[in-house]
Amino acid sequence: MTVTALRSSVITFHQDPFLVDPASSYRFLEDGLVVMADGKIVAVDPYSEAAVDAASGIVGVPLTVTHYPDSVICAGFIDCHVHYPQTQMIGAFGEQLLEWLNKYTFIAEQQFADKSHADTVSRVFLRELLRAGTTTAAVYCTVHPESVDALFEESERFNTRMIAGKVLMDRHAPDALLDTAERGYDESKALLEKWHGRGRQLYCITPRFAASSTDDQLAAAARLWKEHPGTYMQTHLAENTGEIDWVRDLFPQRSSYLDVYDHAGLTGPRAIFGHAVHMDDVDFACCHRTGSALAHCPTSNLFLGSGLFKMSEAKHIDRPVRVGIGSDIGAGTSFSTLHTLNEAYKVSQMAQGRLTAAHAFYLATRGGAEALYLQDSLGSVAPGYDADLVVLDLAATPLIAFRMGFARDILEKLFVLMTLGDDRAVRATYVAGLPVYDSARDDPFIYPTQAPEPECPSQRLDPSGVRA
Ligand code: GUN
Ligand code: ZN
């Protein structure tokens, strides 16, 4: 049995602060003890000698406690919308969505016909996620099945829970990136049968967006999704006004962009719609009614000039929609969820909203888990949950350390962290109870099979917190 115990401040969300009094949506422990055994959290209590003894009794072995002073532990971040093949083209200059796709994205994605290229980028991608404290993501691959194998193979090595799939496109892209409705169905089905539920991997049927799939392909995607309960469906929705006009021309019989997907059978639980910037009340009501989720991608929406997500309308108390946060690499500009939350705050300011730290950290953890219907196993630091955690450093930079001296409570500290923080604030990332990323190690990344026994000393072990 692998047992790990951590001592630090702990913050966790058990309710949606958009729907309840934010003060009652979370639990905060100033000095907490998190005990993990065999990949699960088994206890979360205020730290004390007695709590350590009690936890030792539960797991049946004496505990060694790794102490992270000046830190806060929260559930591993969840990125609800990201394109791993676009890691190589972050920061492509000057265009809005449709030009950007043609000029940069469709060029880069053609390289993923080569499995070794996909392997290389998958390695970089998973490490950037973990460096950012992200332990779960909904990931777009490319049209090539090899690109999916590469991503899941690397995720399997880290034992991360990834949700990913082959992009479906049967029109309006270079020939080298096109499949057909039938081929897309067959290849997705084969990948789904290979990967869905293998270890922690989950399959996501991925029609890129309405403009690049015919009616036939959308219908085939919906059929595959319905035939395999528990799988996911992800696509883009109402991101850019030029794109919306185009979709209206392509589907004149449909009442809205979302209606294209709804009519095709692509709304429902485990549907994840990226962006959803230009939505009206009917659209939000449809998402609420069908249980579909939205991925808010602020850095991307700003970078491509797409617009401002209407968070307060999405979370309207009368018909709240499940919303998570997405980096949308490579239109998004940072893997860091802290940085993404910083931009989400500014977008809310521009859209007459107010995203407190409680709302923001909820979105990045439990909100993402709810969007993905994984809230019973991910997104909270509580007994029974998967032990996917991030340890955030409250003194990560001289400025953050200085600023924290003037922060009066945990919410102020978290707000400073999301304003000033980035991957430098991620001290360690635990996946299924093991520190697969530790910024203090010479090689910060290790696969779980190589993970040191918890007794292994680290620069950050506090001798006073260590028990034999
Ligand atoms: N819409 C269709 N494809 C894409 C993509 O790759 N990125 C973004 N941001 N929007 C899209
Ligand atoms: Zn996207």
Q: What is the DSSP letter of 58?
A: H
Q: For the CA atoms of 199, 201, 202, 204, what is the dihedral angle to 10 degrees?
A: -160
Phi, psi of 271 (to 5 degrees): -90, 130
**Across 102-130, average pLDDT:** 98
Ligand 1 contacts CB of residue 300 (under 6 A)? yes
Ligand closest to CA 109: 1
Q: 3-state class of 385 per DSSP?
A: coil
Closest ligand 1 atom, residue 304 Cα = 9
Looking at per-residue pLDDT, the higher value among 162 and 464 belongs to 162
Ligand 1 contacts CB of residue 236 (under 6 A)? yes
Helix (H) or strand (E) holding 71: strand 65-75
Closest ligand 1 atom, residue 300 Cα = 9
Protein residue with least CA distance to atom 3, ligand 1 = 208
User: Helix 410-420 and helix 337-350: axis angle, to 10°?
Assistant: 100
- Tell me, in angstroms, the distance from the centre of ligand 2 to residue 155's CA: 20
Which of the four pLDDT bands, split at 50, 70 and 90, describes residue 22?
very high
Kindly give the residue spans of alpha helices, DSSP state H, lying in 132-234: 145-158, 181-195, 215-227
Is the sign of the CA dihedral 441, 445, 446, 451 positive or negative? Answer: positive
Which of the four pLDDT bands, split at 50, 70 and 90, describes residue 457?
very low
pLDDT digits (tens, 9 = 90+) for 280-309: 999 999 999 999 999 999 999 999 999 999
Provide the greatest CA pair distance for the chain: 70
- Tell me, in angstroms, the distance from the centre of ligand 1 to residue 101's CA: 7
pLDDT score at 352: 81
Alpha-carbon gap, residue 138 to 290, rounded angstroms: 19
pLDDT score at 453: 55
pLDDT score at 455: 45
Alpha-carbon gap, residue 6 to 387, rounded angstroms: 11
- Tell me, in angstroms, the distance from the centre of ligand 2 to residue 87's CA: 12
Nearest to 27 by CA among 9, 52, 53: 9
Which residues on adjacent β-strands are paired with residue 26? Answer: 13
- Tell me, in angstroms, the distance from the centre of ligand 1 to residue 367's CA: 22
8 A C-beta contact, residue 24 and residue 15? yes
pLDDT digits (tens, 9 = 90+) for 199-241: 999 999 999 999 999 999 999 999 999 999 999 999 999 999 9
Buried b or exposed e, range 421-449, using 16+ CB within 10 angstroms: bbbebbbbbbbbbbbbbbbeeeebbbebe
- Count of other CB atoms within 10 angstroms of residue 301: 26
Alpha-carbon gap, residue 417 to 395, rounded angstroms: 9
Nearest to 289 by CA among 330, 259, 310: 259
Q: 3-state class of 174 per DSSP?
A: coil
Average pLDDT taken over every residue of the chain: 95
**Across 368-387, average pLDDT:** 98
Q: Is the pLDDT of residue 41 over 50?
A: yes
- Count of other CB atoms within 10 angstroms of residue 54: 15
Which of the four pLDDT bands, split at 50, 70 and 90, describes residue 364?
very high
Alpha-carbon gap, residue 257 to 283, rounded angstroms: 9
Alpha-carbon gap, residue 74 to 11, rounded angstroms: 5
pLDDT score at 2: 84
Alpha-carbon gap, residue 168 to 424, rounded angstroms: 36
Q: What is the DSSP letter of 89?
A: G
Ligand 1 contacts CB of residue 97 (under 6 A)? yes
Q: What structural domains and CATH numbers belong to the chain? A: 3-75+380-450 (2.30.40.10), 77-371 (3.20.20.140)
pLDDT score at 461: 37
Which of 79, 96, 100, 101 is the best mutation target for the ligand 1 pocket, counting ligand atoms within 8 Å of the beta carbon and taking the most?
Answer: 101
Q: Is the pLDDT of residue 245 over 90?
A: yes
8 A C-beta contact, residue 271 and residue 231? no
Which of the four pLDDT bands, split at 50, 70 and 90, describes residue 126?
very high
Number of C-alpha atoms within 13 angstroms, CB side, residue 427? 23
- Tell me, in angstroms, the distance from the centre of ligand 2 to residue 82's CA: 6
- Tell me, in angstroms, the distance from the centre of ligand 2 to residue 161's CA: 19
Phi, psi of 145 (to 5 degrees): -55, -35
Q: Is the pLDDT of residue 20 over 90?
A: yes
User: Helix 257-264 and helix 281-290: axis angle, to 10°?
Assistant: 30
pLDDT digits (tens, 9 = 90+) for 57-108: 988 999 999 999 999 999 999 999 999 999 999 999 999 999 999 999 999 9
DSSP string, 264-296: HT--STTEEEEE--S--HHHHHHHHHHT-EEEE
Q: Taking the model in full, what pTM does it have?
A: 0.96
**Across 260-269, average pLDDT:** 98
pLDDT score at 367: 98
Closest ligand 1 atom, residue 83 Cα = 6
Protein residue with least CA distance to atom 11, ligand 1 = 236
- Tell me, in angstroms, the distance from the centre of ligand 1 to residue 230's CA: 25
8 A C-beta contact, residue 148 and residue 195? yes
Protein residue with least CA distance to atom 5, ligand 1 = 101
Ligand 1 contacts CB of residue 112 (under 6 A)? no
Ligand 1 contacts CB of residue 81 (under 6 A)? no
